Structure 1
Amino acid sequence: MSTAPASAPAPAVRYALYAGLLVLGALVGTAGALVQAAWFPLGLLLALLATAALFYGGMRATGNQLGLAAPAGGWLVAVIVLSLGRPEGDGLFGGGIGELLFLFGGMGAAVICTTVSRLPQGSS
């Protein structure tokens, strides 16, 4: 008895999944920006773990690199927009070491998840 391989989802479903991952990436980036500053250093660790889990989970859920690029793009846009501040001078990031570690750590997590090969399949 053999099982048929799962068919690929319809293009509309894939695009909706990528859009959802993009929005989820922006939400994780925003939440991470708030948490990393509020509970330093454990908040920074929590924010980076959530970021890496989202990137890797998106790649595993979709089975391709676009599943990683969508949340990473949303995360990066959210973090950059939050770091720009407002014309009045108000900004979410204060310019300390935690903010830099969050920014570079999140980008590093995206690169690591991109270069990680598929996990080896168990021998049968």
Structure 2
Amino acid sequence: MSTTSRTPHPPVNSRTAGARPGRIAAFLGLFLLGALTGAAGALVQAAWFPGGLLLSLAAAAGLFWTGTALTGSRAGVGASGAGWLVAVLFLTATRPEGDFVFGAGLGSYVFLLGGMAAAVICATVGNLVQPPGDSVRLGK
């Protein structure tokens, strides 16, 4: 009988695991979903006011929260929020023809500021899980 003790390997933490192809694909997918949600929300919020505004903000907040839950980190909110912001900023820029998607109404400003506030709230509150291990405690 051998008395050699084996030291257990530390658990793999998602923050220290490095960039894996699956994680990169998840962040890219969240970025694209954020861009799609931002573009769809820009069109819906003005079409069915005020219901469309609430629907588009709920879709953005749901995507941001799902990004946190899927990745287990705040980077999920960053990826989906960046895609949302890129799409919204692209649609707010005026073109030489004078066409743009956002009007100068209250709903447009509520959509822009509300979407950014939803991203910040989801990143701050977050649904981060406790790291594995018996003696590991967050905040201590």
Normalising by structure 2, we get a TM-score of 0.77
Report the Cα distance in structure 1 between the residues aligned to 2:12 and 2:37, rounded to whole angstroms: 30
Question: How far off is 1:118 after superposition?
Answer: 3.3
CA distance in 1, matches of 2:87, 2:93: 10
Q: Which residue of 1 aligns with 2:135?
A: none
What letter corresponds to residue 71 of structure 1 in structure 2? S
Aligned length: 117
Is there any run of 5+ residues in structure 2 with no aligned partner, and where?
1-10, 131-140
% identical equivalent positions: 56
One of 32, 40, 51 as aligned partner of 1:31 = 40
Cα distance in 1 between the residues matched to 2:60 and 2:26: 18
Query: What pairs up with 1:73-92 in 2 under 5 angstroms?
Result: 73-92=82-101
Q: Does 1:95 align with 2:104?
A: yes
The alpha-carbon deviation at position 85 of structure 1 amounts to 2.3
Amino acid at match of 1:113: C
SS in 2 for 1:29: helix
Q: Whose helix proportion is higher, 1 or 2?
A: 1
Partners of 2:129 and 2:85 lie apart in 1 by: 30
Q: Are 1:52 and 2:32 counterparts?
A: no
Question: Over aligned residues, Cα RMSD in angstroms?
Answer: 2.1
CA distance in 1, matches of 2:12, 2:42: 38
Partner of 1:109: 118
* Dislocated runs of 4+, deviation >6 Å: none
CA distance in 1, matches of 2:21, 2:129: 30
The code of the aligned residue for 2:97 comes to E
- CA deviation map 1:46-98 (0-9, x unaligned): 00000000000011000001111001000001000100121111110111100
CA distance in 2, matches of 1:13, 1:25: 18
Whole-angstrom CA distance in 2 between matches of 1:119 and 1:11: 20
Amino acid in the other structure paired with 1:48 = L
Q: How far off its partner does 1:120 sit?
A: 8.3
Say yes or no: does 1:64 pair with 2:68. no
Structure 1 gaps, min length 5: none
Computing the radius of gyration from Cα coordinates, the structure with the larger value is: 2
